[in-house]
Structure 1
Amino acid sequence: MVAAADADPAAAQALARRLGVELCQTTPATGLYLWLDASGLALCQAGRPPMSMRADFISGAQGYRAAHHGHHREAIARACGIRRGHRPWIVDATAGLGRDAFVLATAGAPVTLLERSAVVHALLVDGLQRATTGGAADRTARMDCRHADATEWLAQDVGDESPAVIYLDPMYSGRRRAAAGKELALLQALLMPATDESVLLERARVAAMDRVVVKRHRHARPLDDQTPDYHLPGRSTRFDVYRTRKD
């Protein structure tokens, strides 16, 4: 990890210790590295051209989406059962950079985000902190970000505290690719092979009190070839809904 001159030295040292990485003063000539400056944390790749990405909720495409879309009308919100007067607890079991979770939180739902990569989790936490101080505290307050493996977390016996909805976007496996080009390249270089999708879906269907929602490419086969109860199509993606009502 590289800390810029304007980075908080104590924060940089604490983050490096938490992630178990070396804190350096110069950028490497090759490979991936974390960059911390006054604007926050970024994942970078050395080379020509260099690439970098941050978790960003209040500017760029995500900021536009949050400001202009009718969140209750978005397909993801409808698939998760959000409507006026009904905002179920949702677990985003494959949180990544948290874009979909932020939309769900903006629509009013409490969302628990699970991310198994320590680096992606750090990027996500950094993005949420910046969003909190940047005017989105009302939405980030509904987002509980945890560093956890979803298959293990979902196997816990939480009884009556089980989430109503579990949301899955297995975006790093198969032909489905949800991230933008440069972000996808960085994440593919960073991450291990995806969790077994059949196990993840099975545990989600056991744990969810009301439904499991799976984001897929519009023309992709259902996850683990399990036919959903219904789906909501979009231009390039669709949301497969598996009902699990247990009350």
Structure 2
Amino acid sequence: MNQVDLKELLAVSVSPEGDPVAASNFAQRLGLVLLNDVIPSKERRYPLLMMYDRHGPSLVETGKVAPGPVTADFVSGKVDHRRKFGGGKGQLIAKAVGLKSGITPEVVDATAGLGRDAFVLASLGCRVTLLERSPVVAELLASGLERACLFDDVAPVVSRMTLTNSDSIEWLSSQNDVVADVVYLDPMFPQRDKSSLVKKEMRLFKPLVGGDLDAPALLKAALDKARYRVVVKRPRKAPEIEGVNPTFRLEGKSSRYDIYTLKSMEGLKGAGSNNDLG
């Protein structure tokens, strides 16, 4: 999505309780119009607003029948419930990245989005580098991580998460050596989750980020820079990414994980990098 398209799609708004400096900085960085406090249902000039209020930024669709705002939230709702009651290392994602007793891999999440999967892995002890190419989504994610740091029970998890606003293929290709034990990919499209929450996010994000990343090129870049494995999350019935066949897969009810093994992760046992965090 180029800059001209973004200017046509999105404006920035700040409420009386919002942070005008943060809103102004974001608008200037992307060359967007900064509006006074507006009512999204009455806004007709822009289909999307980045609204800054007392909770930070949120992405909102304008118009009378638009859904509610989208934010990155790590301290309430489904994300918080999953942290507390999600099944720990028994979760499919944990098994996919190789988490088990004595092995806590370092992970690069190359398609971070709103950071939910990265947060799950960090809550289980992994250090996670999050790559997000969209500056709009990255702004939401950065704000969510900042807010989460204010909560004593969540701050230690967030301390293991590092966000970079960068195109994943370019970032991976620019690195001179392996970047992590595991590179994790969860392309935003095609949509797999039928929940109203995810459908709302897709409706707002797709005009901003366009189509999916070049999946074969991203997979190749990930395979070149992962130490032990690459994990790709897919809708359960979706085709594999073209180019290389996965070594094995783990299937859930609606999603599956295609695992591309480079070498055994048993070499992580006793390595001491993250094994004291699990």
TM (norm. structure 2) is: 0.83
Structure 1 vs Structure 2: percent identity of aligned residues? 39
Structure with higher Rg: it is 2
Partners of 1:96 and 1:115 in 2: CA distance: 6
Deviations, residues 105-151 of structure 1 (Å, cap 9, x unaligned): 00100000000000000010011111111331100000000011110
Q: In structure 2, give the amino acid aligned to 1:242.
A: Y
- The answer as to 2:156 corresponding to 1:141 is no
Secondary structure of residue in 1 paired with 2:151? helix
- Of the three residues 121, 125, 130, the one matched with 1:113 is 130
Secondary structure of residue in 2 paired with 1:72? helix
Deviates more, 1:130-139 or 1:220-229: 220-229
- The answer as to 2:28 corresponding to 1:12 is no
Aligned to 1:56: 73
Secondary structure of residue in 1 paired with 2:65? coil
Aligned to 2:255: 237
Aligned to 1:39: 55
Q: CA deviation at 1:76?
A: 0.5
- The answer as to 2:107 corresponding to 1:90 is yes
Partners of 2:175 and 2:82 in 1: CA distance: 36
1:212–1:241 contact (8 Å) kept in structure 2: yes
Query: Residues 199 and 97 of structure 1: is their aligned pair in 2 closer, same or farther, counting only changes over 3 Å?
Result: same
Q: CA deviation at 1:93?
A: 0.3
- The answer as to 2:87 corresponding to 1:70 is yes
Partners of 1:35 and 1:177 in 2: CA distance: 28
Partners of 1:157 and 1:6 in 2: CA distance: 41
Q: Name segments (4+ residues, structure 1) moved above 3 Å.
A: 175-179
Secondary structure of residue in 1 paired with 2:35? coil
Q: In structure 1, give the amino acid aligned to 2:253.
A: R
Aligned to 1:166: 183
Partners of 1:107 and 1:242 in 2: CA distance: 22
Query: Residues 50 and 134 of structure 1: is their aligned pair in 2 closer, same or farther, counting only changes over 3 Å?
Result: farther
Deviations, residues 33-62 of structure 1 (Å, cap 9, x unaligned): 100100121001101222221011111111
Aligned to 2:144: 127
Q: In structure 1, give the amino acid aligned to 2:21.
A: A
Gaps of 5+ in 2: 1-11, 268-278
1:105–1:139 contact (8 Å) kept in structure 2: yes
Q: In structure 2, give the amino acid aligned to 1:177.
A: R
Q: CA deviation at 1:14?
A: 2.4
Q: CA deviation at 1:4?
A: 0.7
Q: CA deviation at 1:214?
A: 0.3
Partners of 2:90 and 2:176 in 1: CA distance: 31
Q: CA deviation at 1:225?
A: 6.0
Q: CA deviation at 1:217?
A: 0.7
Secondary structure of residue in 2 paired with 1:17? helix
Aligned to 1:198: 216
Q: In structure 2, give the amino acid aligned to 1:115.
A: E
Aligned to 1:21: 32
Give RMSD over aligned pairs: 1.7
Partners of 1:162 and 1:13 in 2: CA distance: 34
Gaps of 5+ in 1: none
